[in-house]
Structure 1
Amino acid sequence: MTPKASDENPSPGTRPGDADAVSNPTPEALAQTVDAEVITSNQRVFTGRMGLFVALACILYTGFHIGAMNGVHTLITDALGLPSIDLTEPWRYRLAHVAGGLALGFLLFGARSLPESGADTPLGLIEKGLVALGGAAIMLATVQLGLMWATGDLIETGAPADKHVLAFGYPLVVGTCITLVASWMAPARGKGRISLADTLLAVAAVTAGAYIILHADFLRTRAQVFPHPNDMWAAIAGIILILELTRRLAGLALVIIVAVFIAYGFLGPWLPGVLNHRGYAPARFFAFIYTDNGILGPTTAISSTYIILFITFAAFLQASRVGEYFVNFAFAAAGGARGGPAKVAVFASGLMGMINGTSAGNVVSTGSLTIPLMKKVGYKPQTAASVEAAASSGGQILPPIMGAGAFIMAEITGIAYRDIVIAAIIPAILYFVSVFLMVDKEAIKKGMRGLPRSELPEFSALARRAFLFIPIVILIGALFMGYSVIRAGTLAMGAAAVVSWLTPYRMLGREILYALEIAARMSLQLVAVCAAAGVIVGVIALTGIGVRFSSLLLGFAGQSQLLALVFAMLVSIVLGMGMPTTAAYAVAAAVIAPGLVRMGIEPLTAHFFVFYYAVMSAITPPVALAAYAGAAIAQADPMKTSVESFKIGLAAFVVPFMFFYSEPMLMQGAWHEILHVFVTALFGIYLMVSAVQGWMFGPLNRVLRILTFIGALGMIAGGWTSDLLGLAVAAFVFAVQKRLLTARNAARGLD
């Protein structure tokens, strides 16, 4: 199932017909690369038998999740008269999710960048020795676990501390560490070659997961009190593998944050003030972390259900080229306007980002098209990259999917999904209006034009294929009709396949299997990252730092609620750096949201507050993953791009404070209050953009920009007094500008 690099199939991720589109470009082929799979520098692309094996493993991994969530296994066992198997039992299901994801991850992703081709450098004597030693230890632990299962000689509660430790626990951890070092030291092989060290790490991941699955019934009771040493060693091996795969797929930022939290679990007795805790023995600490209080807790619960469900939905859209249609539709609608490609990025990247749940990943997929076109019409490289980053990050706050954020919030808070989606409407509109105005005013200042109509798809032709929006409509409709998220997502997947039959890109058996295959590959980063975030959640639960942080917030609130909110904002951003939205929000919700609720803030408002800042950590310097991804495509300076992204997405850093000061912003209140807040906030957003860009109906000097920004804050605040203040300031700025501008500048500003 994995695409081959040959004349018939030009490059990984391409599909039949793409080569012709590249060599003979047409307006309709403008977005033909959007649905192509992105191959990272350390990703392996197998062919032949190995490619078939990995493809089947990916299909089984995705199929297991979709089937288990929809009860397919029960239907099969009932039809065959077999004993019922509960695949959705939380511990076992989530362990299979994590262990399977780790195994696939190590098979598919190398420890560092892999060469496209060339002769393999043979392993040195040291590397061979490490692989042999580590492999022997891992296989010893695997065989021992197999014997334990076959003979029923499991480690029951109260078993001697040395039972099977020499044959299982020690070899598993030592073998994992040695093999991990070997994978770092081994010379990089070609993308089409398997690594023995990484294969052994995949075996270790399955072994560690299988141990916990077999002992789940015992661990539920003993992990928090008197765990067996083997429980600790299996957990340590699992955590090491989770962090290594996270490093390979998401970089070092999250790994460092997790390492700090792990260190905190042991250093607490020596830390001052709110950070102090009594400390924990290693056995209890690590065994606790690998339970549903930590790694198997809310972050993995979300990644094993909602995230993989909607990644599979996105894969179906990708395989049927519906995503390509979305982008072409945006180009046809806005590509010819001034600064057209940037406006296309705002709409298309927001829509795609809403579905796929990762800002940086969306930047790579849609940004590979929109960023070069933005540069073509006159945007600076860093501006083009920052627009794409801001729009892709904004997709995470765009209802109804919100990058799976809406479902996570519903899961954590118990608030109805419908209420969360409705509450998200006004803030999302304000954000995307602000980004749109940012790029529009930039285009006005630079005198930019759009793309020529001859280079754009024909709108009327695309309008006739509006039925391709049906999967999104069905998803939204099913959710609002009261269907479960899983059922709604499954129906939307089926709809994506069915509507493809009305296009040249019909999804039949092979295409559906391809969608399941790429869904598994697309999900691996989030599987690893959510598991890593689970370590943080576990440390927070074990040490009680969340409760103490709530007390600290209350102390700040006693002095100033605004100060407490600023502190909560900063911590949310820091915790979210280096994480995808879902993991960032889950951690922030565990640490910060309870404190905000104790301050008297409504749970919906508190969770939206931390959610927004967790999302926007992706465009906040210094660790702005979405901005860095865009900078790599645009060949721009990463730090300058992150600062520019922060500027373009500024509304998302201001609006959450209005959740606290003006509840109608979240659709809480009478309709006339909501309308009043919405209209005045829209005007406030316009003033804020004018101040940031230094352009209203013409250029604004520094004093007028400051006054305009003050007026913007007054309008966004939502009170009648602040609105009148904002209007007065805006009227003053407008009058002064009209007086100072020459007729030529005024005409240019209104052009």
Structure 2
Amino acid sequence: MKWRKKKDMKEKPLEELSQEEILEKYDRESSYRKNLGKWSWVVLFLGVSLTLFHLYTGYRGAFEARIQGPIHLGTALGLIFLLYPIKKGLHRKQKGVPWYDVVLAFTALGVGYYNVINYEELVAQKIVFGYSQMDIIVASLGVLLVLEAARRCVGLPIVAVAGVAILYALYGNHIPTKMFAHRGFSWEKLATDLYLTTKGIFSTPIQVSSTFIFLFLFFGVMLIRTGVGQFFNDVAFALTGRFIGGQAKAAVVASALEGMVSGSSVANTVGSGAFTIPMMKKAGYKPEFAAAVEASASTGGQIMPPVMGAAAFIMASYTNTPYSQIMLAAIIPAILYFLGVFLGVHFESKKQGIIGTPKSQLPSFRKLMTERGYLILPLIVIFYTLLTGKTPMRAALVAILVAFLVSLVRKETRMTPWQIVKTLEEGARTALPVIAACAAAGIIVGVVVQTGLGGRIANGIITLGGGSLILTLFFTMIACLILGMGLPTTANYIVTATMVAPALVLGLDVPVLAAHMFVFYFGIVADITPPVCLAAYAGAGLAGANPFMTGVRAFTLATAAYIIPYVFVMNPQMILIDVKPLFLTICVVTAIIGMIGVSSAMVGYLVRKAYVWERIVLFIAGLLLISPNITFSVIGSVLLIAVAVIQSRRPKETNNLFTATI
């Protein structure tokens, strides 16, 4: 009891936490040691070496997977044990690195490079003669170190899922149900398959992480160094600040722009929210709404091309689809997502009577583009290089070079040699949680593939759905949201793409890309889905708001995100599959109008404040408009117009939606 009281006394109220403390509380990857003492030089050396290794392989081409992956993972594991303490929160209390973490770090390095040193022997001789006792010991240590590293910088849930997968592999022969039973594996067989081959830890997730993902994450770091974040904020306010609810609309636009170079919902929420949330509160928005706007907009960043979340690169490999095609396929759904949030902000602003900021107090768009418009050049370059057929590695490498050159234009962003070195180190540190998540997810993938569990789960979902596409999609959505409560987006996608997406592809003939985009989307929006909605909780910390109610408001604002995936599964043209230009144009236009119906229904305002029955009709009208069926869209249009006419005849409260400035 005394311990509990003492612990409670140390807990700060949410509204008293600093920006850094909020980020560390809700973003596990930010809880790393800052005071490393003499070990800071080791971290610097390993971090810079890891980044330079990826820049080198990006230029000359990647090594064979059994060399590239172990160098990538082994160095990352060493860094993780030096940077992340054994218990969350200790990074603030400890000075230097404890001896046991030093031992773990160098053990991880040794275990990681074991595959590289013994590459030829492991590839050739072990197939014939089997593995030695030393191989088994190293493989066992490798699996355990990956799990511990993931626990430290990603969180316990992914370790729990991986742990259950390992137990299932070892004791599957004792399961009485025929549907899930299998012959079982010995620990020696399982550990060596997971660590010494490309069937587990070094399977597709780590292969993609060690080639594409790392370079794109480093590109994001370089772009931030150019000052592009503040530029995006200024552009957003210049474009939308003077209109109704301009402060909140600017937050949506800024997060959409920043989302193009950031892959973390929580980090984006805290980074942008530190500036936008106080502005929204000052304008008159309630704290819960202000935090919800930032959280929902920031979460959408992972679906915004050109640099989407890390899972998008793994999707390219899983679906055998060029990343450039995935990038293009994501454009329409991303626009609809942010439009939904934008319209929700508009109707809430109309409802509360919140006006924009006077034009005289806003930055000039023309001046911004004249003075700092060159900052978007790296993004243009990465779009162009990907669309011209270059590999993602080469596109990222060219964009990194352009971002560096852009940083030289202004004195305040020009880096000294020491700052360049620190940027190289930061690039490696930023990638560590993604590397750990991919490695742990590789354990799950290895078990699922080797035991045949994926096929069994796919058959189970199809059976549960009774052959109905909508029901199967619904159960798939639930699985993604539940997993997303504990797993980061990348790991969530890897697991669901392995176990759930096949149910849609094989059982219901859903196009491969549509099925994978479906699970990708719902893995992302889990960050704003109550009760566990980390992006919303982080925003609530900045706003001094109720975390759960912030999650509820974020859910309502981003309702479109829960509808759009169903739309592109039923109408793959929305993700540019088998496109018929006229039909696609009609679908996009009706979907945009449908967003008006859905958003106004969730907020409770169209032309006037809506009655309950009007909100129900508006929501139905929105769904009908968003559907790919022309007849339904016509009915939805009639319903939407009818509600607008009925409301416009009531006593005038505000300007009509169709004459108001958006």
Shift of 1:347: 2.0
> Are 1:639 and 2:548 an aligned pair?
yes
> Are 1:99 and 2:99 an aligned pair?
no
Counterpart contact for 1:225–1:284, Cα < 8 Å: no
Work out which of the two has the higher radius of gyration on C-alpha atoms and give 1 or 2: 1
The whole-number CA distance in structure 1 between the counterparts of 2:244 and 2:425 is 40
The whole-number CA distance in structure 1 between the counterparts of 2:240 and 2:501 is 39
Deviates more, 1:247-256 or 1:439-448: 247-256
SS at match of 2:261: helix
Q: Which one of the candidate residues 377, 382, 400 is aligned to 2:306?
A: 400
Deviates more, 1:649-658 or 1:725-734: 725-734
> Are 1:51 and 2:40 an aligned pair?
yes
Say what the alpha-carbon RMSD is for the aligned residues: 2.7
Aligned residue runs from structure 1 range 126-275, under 5 A: 188-190=93-95, 193-220=96-123, 227-268=131-172, 269-275=174-180
The whole-number CA distance in structure 2 between the counterparts of 1:264 and 1:713 is 42
The whole-number CA distance in structure 2 between the counterparts of 1:316 and 1:488 is 14
**Identity, % of aligned positions:** 37
Q: Which one of the candidate residues 620, 644, 648 is aligned to 2:557?
A: 648
Cα 1:520/1:417, change in 2 over 3 Å: closer
Cα 1:115/1:634, change in 2 over 3 Å: farther
Quick one: higher RCO (CA 8 Å, sep 6+), 1 or 2?
2
> Are 1:329 and 2:235 an aligned pair?
yes
The whole-number CA distance in structure 1 between the counterparts of 2:180 and 2:647 is 53
> Are 1:66 and 2:48 an aligned pair?
no
Give a deviation string over 1:485-517, Cα, whole Å, max 9, x none: 111111111111112222122245333323212
Aligned residue runs from structure 1 range 660-671, under 5 A: 660-667=569-576, 668-671=578-581
> Are 1:467 and 2:374 an aligned pair?
yes
The whole-number CA distance in structure 1 between the counterparts of 2:252 and 2:190 is 45
Aligned residue runs from structure 1 range 611-626, under 5 A: 611-626=520-535
Give a deviation string over 1:152-180, Cα, whole Å, max 9, x none: xxxxxxxxxxxxxxxxxxxxxxxxxxxxx
Residue 521 (structure 1) aligns with: 429
Shift of 1:406: 4.0
Q: Which one of the candidate residues 178, 185, 201 is aligned to 1:295?
A: 201
**Length-normalised TM-score, structure 1:** 0.78
Q: Which one of the candidate residues 490, 493, 498 is aligned to 2:405?
A: 498
**Counterpart amino acid of residue 358 in structure 1:** S
Cα 1:225/1:312, change in 2 over 3 Å: same
Residue 29 (structure 1) aligns with: none
> Are 1:569 and 2:474 an aligned pair?
no
Q: Which one of the candidate residues 83, 90, 96 is aligned to 1:108?
A: 83
The whole-number CA distance in structure 2 between the counterparts of 1:568 and 1:623 is 18
Deviates more, 1:217-226 or 1:332-341: 217-226
Give a deviation string over 1:90-130, Cα, whole Å, max 9, x none: 1121111111111111212223355788xxxxxxxxxxxxx
SS at match of 1:45: coil
**Counterpart amino acid of residue 493 in structure 2:** Y
The whole-number CA distance in structure 2 between the counterparts of 1:748 and 1:115 is 53
The whole-number CA distance in structure 2 between the counterparts of 1:632 and 1:258 is 31
Shift of 1:557: 5.2
Shift of 1:656: 1.0
Give a deviation string over 1:422-473, Cα, whole Å, max 9, x none: 2222111111100111112222222223345566444333121211111111
Counterpart contact for 1:231–1:283, Cα < 8 Å: no
Aligned residue runs from structure 1 range 365-376, under 5 A: 365-376=271-282
Aligned residue runs from structure 1 range 667-686, under 5 A: 667=576, 668-686=578-596
SS at match of 1:287: helix
Residue 130 (structure 1) aligns with: none
Q: Which runs of 5+ in 1 are unaligned?
A: 1-33, 73-86, 118-187
SS at match of 2:179: helix
**Counterpart amino acid of residue 624 in structure 1:** C
Residue 4 (structure 2) aligns with: none
Residue 640 (structure 2) aligns with: 730
**Counterpart amino acid of residue 65 in structure 1:** H
Cα 1:536/1:383, change in 2 over 3 Å: farther
Shift of 1:554: 3.4
Q: Which one of the candidate residues 700, 711, 719 is aligned to 2:610?
A: 700
Residue 220 (structure 2) aligns with: 314
Shift of 1:747: 6.2
Counterpart contact for 2:154–2:433, Cα < 8 Å: yes
**Length-normalised TM-score, structure 2:** 0.88
Give a deviation string over 1:584-635, Cα, whole Å, max 9, x none: 2222211122221112111122122122112222222233232233233333
The whole-number CA distance in structure 2 between the counterparts of 1:615 and 1:90 is 28
Aligned residue runs from structure 1 range 279-294, under 5 A: 279-290=184-195, 291-294=197-200
> Size of the alignment, in residue pairs?
628
